[in-house]
Chains A and B, each alone.
Chain A
Amino acid sequence: RKEVEQDPGPFNVPEGATVAFNCTYSNSASQSFFWYRQDCRKEPKLLMSVYSSGNEDGRFTAQLNRASQYISLLIRDSKLSDSATYLCVVNGAGGSYIPTFGRGTSLIVHP
């Protein structure tokens, strides 16, 4: 089993749709969780951290389920500009700073 798994997609949704991605992780000792966004041929950009209590930033909501060892990202009212690859990152197991990236989930928002 891979340490961090994501459905590669692509998720093809119309503008205005709500879409959700999940990311599972294998190390139960992981402490920190993030979602990054990567546009084609660009560097990843931090989208949001994921906390146990869940967090929301505008149209984006991230949640952590420690019992089932997954994090989720919900995007409401999708925009064309949301089209990108969304990377899940997990680290902090055993105090390690070494990040583990998922392979990314591709989102395509169409008119």
Chain B
Amino acid sequence: GAVVSQHPSWVICKSGTSVKIECRSLDFQATTMFWYRQFPKQSLMLMATSNEGSKATYEQGVEKDKFLINHASLTLSTLTVTSAHPEDSSFYICSATPGLYSYEQYFGPGTRLTVT
């Protein structure tokens, strides 16, 4: 149980284009989902916390207009990287918590984004 999927698993795009990444909880409802990015050999960096039906809460230094997050249902959150630049190339990972009183997170397999 507690499976989270992400799509696509990898994507290459040109500078200036937008990329949408989907995060789905397959066998549970996730009231809260988190979006992270990770550069090689570095730790996970929390970008934003996404709660179903409300606006995402972004961490300091993360541009909300550049990284658009939508959490339209209890099983789906999307991250759109708008006007992508090469420095946005990274490993983007989502996670979901299965319940209101659970702090356990289950991670998606990640999306490797390369912007050329």
Contacts and interface: CB of A to CB of B under 8 A. Distances in A.
Interface of A: 31-32, 34, 41-46, 49, 87, 89, 91-92, 97-99, 101-104
Interface residues of B, number: 20
A46 B110 contact: no
A44 B49 contact: no
B105 interface: yes
Nearest to A41: B91
A44 B107 contact: yes
Contacts of B109: 42-43
Contacts of A42: 109-110
Interface of B: 32, 34, 42-44, 46, 49, 91, 93, 95, 97, 103-110, 112
Nearest to B49: A98
B43 A104 contact: yes
B107 A45 contact: yes
Contacts of B44: 44, 87, 101
B25 to A, nearest CB: 14
Contacts of B104: 32, 34, 46, 49
A106 to B, nearest CB: 9
A101 B105 CA distance: 12
A99 B103 CA distance: 8
6 contacts: A31-B103, A32-B104, A41-B112, A43-B108, A46-B104, A46-B105
Nearest to B106: A46
A6 B80 CA distance: 32
